[in-house]
Amino acid sequence: MSERSLGIEVTPSRIMVVEMDASTNPPKVFNFASVDLFSSHPDNISQQTLSILSHMGTRIKKARVAIEDAIAHHVVSLPPMPKKEMKVVVEREMRDALGPLQGGEMVMGWEILGDDERGKKIVLITAVSSSMVREKALLLQEIGLSPDVITTVPLALLNSLKLIQGADQGASSLVHFGESKAHAVFMRDGKWAFYRELTGSEGRSEEVLTEMNRSLLYFRHQFRGEEVERIFLSGKGVEGLEESWSETLGVKVERFCPTLDLSPLGGRAEEFRHVFHEFAIPIGLAGRRARDCIHLPDPEMARRIRKEVIKKGVVMGIIICTLVLGGAYWWLSQVVSNEKRFLLKKKQELNVLEPYLTAQEARAVYGKNRALLREIDDHALWAEALRELSLLVPSEMAFRSLKFNRENGKITMSIKGQILASQAVAGQEIFSQFYAQLKSSPLFTNMEVDPASIKVIRPKADDKSSPVKVEFEVKGELASVEIEYEKH
C-alpha cells in the first residue's frame, strides 16, 4: 500500500518540502522544493507554503513536520507488560525525568527499541510541549493538509540516518547544522543511542567540534569502549568540512547521502542529489513509514476526533437499538397474535370437555375422602389426641406444623412450634411445662425433644427490650388406649 506524504521543514529563512513514498525500498522521491522565506509571520508562512505546493502541482494532503524546540528524549528499561499498562508507566517515567523542567501540558510518545541483556524492554520516550504540537497542527490545517506525523527534529534525523546504506551496522552519528543550533543524533545497530544539542550552528565553530568530541567520549563510556565508526554531516554550509572534521575527531566523516529512488524526478534527479544534505529533516520525515515513527498527536484534534467517534457511536447505537426494538416489537406482536388464537382454540375445546372434567374432579375428591376415612379408622383416638393438645398448648405457644404418620403399626407424631415471650428464660419455662404435660398425658408416648431444635431468636438484635421467640420440635407416638364415651 502506497504511503506517499509531504515532509515539510520551516526554518527562520526557508521552507523546504519533499514528496516521497515510504512504502517502497528504497523510498521514492517524486518532488521537492526549497524557497526563501519572506517573513516568519504565521500568515506569510501559510501563504508561501500554499504557493509552493501549488507550484509543485502535488495532490498529496498528508503532511509531516518536526518540532525543534521544547523537546525531551529519555531512554528507560521496563519489564514486559501489556501495552495499556506500559503507556501509564511511560508517562510517569517521563514526568519524573522532566521534573521541575516540565512546564504546562506535554504530549508524549514512545517506542520499544528492543530487549536488554536482562530481558527488559528498552523504551525511547519523547515529550514535547503541547502548544508546539498545536502550532504545527494549525499550520497544516490552515493550508488544507492533514498532520500525518508530528515528531521531533532528532527523530527525523534518526530516520534519515537509517536511510544511509551501511549506517545501521555498528555505531554512527548524523550531525545536522540548523540555522539556530546544531543537532547530533547517535545510532547503534540501527537503533537510537542518544542525542545531543550542540551549541552554535556554524560548522567551522571550534565550540561545535569540542561538544562533538565530548559526545564521542560519552558514547565510548556509555557503551563500554565502543567507537563511533562514521559521522555524517547535513545542513546548509557543511560543504568541505569532511576532511577537517575527520582529522580533528579521528573518525571517518562524510556528507549526508541517503539511498533513495530518484527515478520519478526525471531530469531533476541530479539537482536533488546535490542538495541531499540540506533536506535531511524533510527526507527523514517523509522517507519512513508512519508506523515506524513516533507520532505526537495534537491534543485538541485528538479530543475532537474522540468526540466525533463517540458521537457517531451513539448515533449508530441509537439506530441499531431502534432497528432491534422495531424488529422485536414486530416479532412479539406476531407471537402475541398467535398465542391469542391458540388460547381461543383451547378455550373452545375446554368448554366441550368441561362436563367430563367436573365429573372427574368429583370422583377424585370422593377417592381422597375414602382414603382419609380408612387412614383414620379409629377416629375417637384422633379426636381425643387433638382435644388433649388444644388443652395443653398455652396461649404464648403456636404450632407451625403438626404431622401424623402411620409407620409399622404405630402412629408417629411431630410437632414444630414457637413461643413468644418477653425473656428467653420465660420462654424456656413455658416450653418445659408444655413438654412435661405432654409426656404425662396417657394419649402420648415416647415423647422426645431434640435439644438442637431449641432456638432462641430475638427479632430486633439491637433492642434488648424486644420479645424473643423460642422455636422447638417434639417427636413421639400416639398411645394405644381405648376411648369409650358414655351413652346417654
Per-residue pLDDT of 77-122, as tens digits, reads 899 888 888 888 888 888 887 765 455 688 889 999 988 888 899 9
Same domain, 210 and 256: yes
pLDDT score, position 267: 93
Closest by Cα among 108, 127, 111, 115 to 79: 115
484 inside domain: no
314 inside domain: no
Q: Could you tell me if 478 and 406 are in contact, meaning their C-beta atoms sit under 8 angstroms apart?
A: no
Global pTM value: 0.63
CATH number at residue 73: 3.30.420.40
pLDDT score, position 203: 47
CA distances from 320 to 313, 316, 323, 326, 327 (A): 10, 6, 5, 10, 10
Closest by Cα among 282, 281, 261 to 273: 261
Strand order in the sheet with 182-188: 191-198, 182-188, 171-177, 230-235, 252-255
15 is written with which cell numbers? 521552507
Same domain, 96 and 228: yes
Same domain, 293 and 332: no
Q: Which residues of the chain have pLDDT under 70?
A: 99-104, 200-205, 301-312, 314, 353, 356-357, 359, 362-363, 365-380, 461-464, 481-488
488 inside domain: no
Q: What is the pLDDT of residues 245-304, one digit of tens each?
A: 999 999 999 999 999 999 999 999 999 999 999 999 999 999 999 999 999 988 776 565
CATH number at residue 439: 3.30.1360
Same domain, 108 and 38: yes
Q: Could you tell me if 472 and 431 are in contact, meaning their C-beta atoms sit under 8 angstroms apart?
A: yes
Q: Could you tell me if 15 and 34 are in contact, meaning their C-beta atoms sit under 8 angstroms apart?
A: yes
Q: Could you tell me if 17 and 7 are in contact, meaning their C-beta atoms sit under 8 angstroms apart?
A: yes
Same domain, 402 and 357: no
313 inside domain: no
Same domain, 272 and 153: yes
Same domain, 279 and 399: no
141 inside domain: yes
pLDDT score, position 6: 96
In the chain, the number of structural domains is 3
Same domain, 292 and 145: yes
Closest by Cα among 468, 63, 111, 450 to 282: 63
Same domain, 342 and 473: no
Same domain, 269 and 177: yes
End-of-domain residue from the set 347, 375, 403: 375
487 inside domain: no
- Provide the H-helix boundaries in 74-204: 83-98, 130-142, 153-162
Same domain, 81 and 227: yes
Containing structural domain, residue 324: 320-375
286 inside domain: yes
Same domain, 341 and 405: no
14 inside domain: yes
Q: How far is Cα 177 from Cα 47, in angstroms, rounded to an integer?
A: 26
